[in-house]
């Protein structure tokens, strides 16, 4: 089944890639999600570099609002209409408050890039509770939750656990 | 002999970079995060700091403000726009960015360039 069909069929999902397929996973997922209103949470790139990534890969920015958990750890920056900055990826309470506000807006997609980066910064048990809660909130808000995960030998078990909080676990395959 | 302070919360990276630099003849000290870095700097003045950009505790922007007179290289897994890197290098003592995962020879070359 194609990635587009799998995303269409499920409400909440984790898409698993590895180092070699991560960029393609992100690009293909974004090409699908940005056709509608999309909220994109970054845990591994600054909002500015994401703009470059989108342009380079022909992904339109007009439907996307960003939540950036990285830039404020590096420099002082004010939130804009298109990007809300939070203080760090560890600040799950702050992120939860920002997401709650964003979910009042009719986003069709909420993307976490990547949930495996999030677990390297924040306490693992807190991340589990957080994802469980966000998954529920997305269901209530009729917003599709897409968790991007980059699998390696150290995080396989954690990804499996996170998979129990969502409707589907999708393993990305190129040309899906 | 030049002294380098390697600051990274990932033990593997910290140990690997420290071992590589010791092999190159540097005196190497390590710190496990930003707060540990600030503490260590009370008793030493390295010639260069290699600082991971994403660590628990005090954010790196606050550490850089405290480390006023020591050249600092950011070691980063975070993808940043070139314009952002230039902006950061215009402030404080940030002299370079090294992207993780790094190539060992390139890492050593760039550290040597800034430390000597």
Span between the terminal Cα atoms of chain B, in Å: 10
Q: Do B77 and A44 touch (CB under 8 A)?
A: yes
**pLDDT (0 to 100) of residue B91:** 76
Q: What are phi and psi for residue B72, nearest 5 degrees?
A: -130, 135
A-chain residue closest to B10, CA distance? A120
The whole-angstrom distance between A74's CA and the closest CA on chain B is 5
Q: Do A89 and B61 touch (CB under 8 A)?
A: no
Residue from A23, A57, A73 to probe the interface with B (highest B Cβ count within 10 Å): A73
pLDDT band at B69 (very low <50, low <70, confident <90, very high): confident
Nearest to A73 by CA among B46, B93, B76: B76
- The domain limits of chain A are 3-141+155-168
> What is the CATH number for B111?
3.40.50.2300
* Tokens 């190539």 sit on residue: B103
**pLDDT (0 to 100) of residue B48:** 96
Mean pLDDT, residues B42-58 taken together: 93
**Two tokens, residue B72:** 């600092």
B-chain residue closest to A118, CA distance? B54
The whole-angstrom distance between B46's CA and the closest CA on chain A is 22
Residue A149 CB: number of other CB atoms within 10 A? 30
Domain that holds residue B11: 3-115
Mean pLDDT, residues B37-50 taken together: 95
Q: Do B61 and A49 touch (CB under 8 A)?
A: no
Into how many domains does chain B fold? 1
Q: Nearest 5 degrees, angle CA A29-CA A165-CA A71? A: 55
**pLDDT (0 to 100) of residue A176:** 61
The whole-angstrom distance between B82's CA and the closest CA on chain A is 8
**Two tokens, residue A37:** 């209103």
pLDDT per residue as tens, chain A (176 positions) = 899 999 999 999 999 999 999 999 999 999 999 999 999 999 999 999 998 889 999 999 999 999 999 999 999 999 999 999 999 999 999 999 999 999 999 999 999 999 999 998 889 999 999 999 999 999 999 999 999 999 999 999 999 999 999 999 999 987 66
Q: How far apart are CA B44 and CA A13, in angstroms?
A: 49
Please tell me whether the interface predicted TM-score (ipTM) of this complex is above 0.95: no
Q: Do B79 and A53 touch (CB under 8 A)?
A: yes
**Two tokens, residue A41:** 């949470």
Q: Do A48 and B54 touch (CB under 8 A)?
A: no
Whether domain A3-141+155-168 has CATH 3.90.480.20: no
C-alpha gyration radius of chain B: 13
Helices and strands (H and E) in chain A: how many: 8, 7
The whole-angstrom distance between B54's CA and the closest CA on chain A is 7
**pLDDT (0 to 100) of residue A99:** 97
Q: Do A73 and B84 touch (CB under 8 A)?
A: no
Q: Are A6 and A168 in contact (CB under 8 A)?
A: yes
pLDDT band at B116 (very low <50, low <70, confident <90, very high): confident
Residue A37 CB: number of other CB atoms within 10 A? 16
Q: What are phi and psi for residue A13, nearest 5 degrees?
A: -155, 155
């Amino acid at each position: 089944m194609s990635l587009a069909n799998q995303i269409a069929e499920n409400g909440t999902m984790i898409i698993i890639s590895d180092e070699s397929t991560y960029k393609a996973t992100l690009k293909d997922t974004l090409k699908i999600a940005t056709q509608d209103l999309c909220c994109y949470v970054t845990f591994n790139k600054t909002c500015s570099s994401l703009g470059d990534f989108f342009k380079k890969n022909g992904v339109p920015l007009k439907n996307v609002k960003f939540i950036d958990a990285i830039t404020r750890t590096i420099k002082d920056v004010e939130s804009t209409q298109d990007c809300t900055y939070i203080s760090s990826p560890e600040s799950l309470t702050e992120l939860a408050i920002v997401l709650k506000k964003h979910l009042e807006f009719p986003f069709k997609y909420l993307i976490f890039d990547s949930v495996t980066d999030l677990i390297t910064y924040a306490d693992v048990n807190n991340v589990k509770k957080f994802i469980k809660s966000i998954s529920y909130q997305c269901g209530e808000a009729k917003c599709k939750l897409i968790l991007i995960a980059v699998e390696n030998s150290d995080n396989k078990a954690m990804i499996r656990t996170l998979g129990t909080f969502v409707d589907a676990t999708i393993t990305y395959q190129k040309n899906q | 002999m030049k002294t380098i302070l390697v600051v990274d919360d990932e033990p593997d990276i910290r140990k690997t970079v420290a071992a590589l630099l010791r092999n190159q003849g540097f005196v190497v000290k390590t710190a496990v995060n930003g707060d540990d870095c600030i503490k260590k700097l009370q008793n030493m003045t390295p010639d260069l700091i290699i600082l991971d950009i994403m660590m628990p505790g005090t954010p790196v922007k606050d550490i850089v403000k405290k480390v006023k007179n020591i050249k600092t290289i950011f070691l980063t897994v975070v993808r940043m726009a070139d314009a952002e890197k230039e902006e950061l290098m215009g402030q404080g003592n940030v002299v370079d960015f090294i992207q993780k995962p790094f190539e060992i020879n390139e890492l050593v070359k760039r550290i040597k360039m800034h430390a000597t």
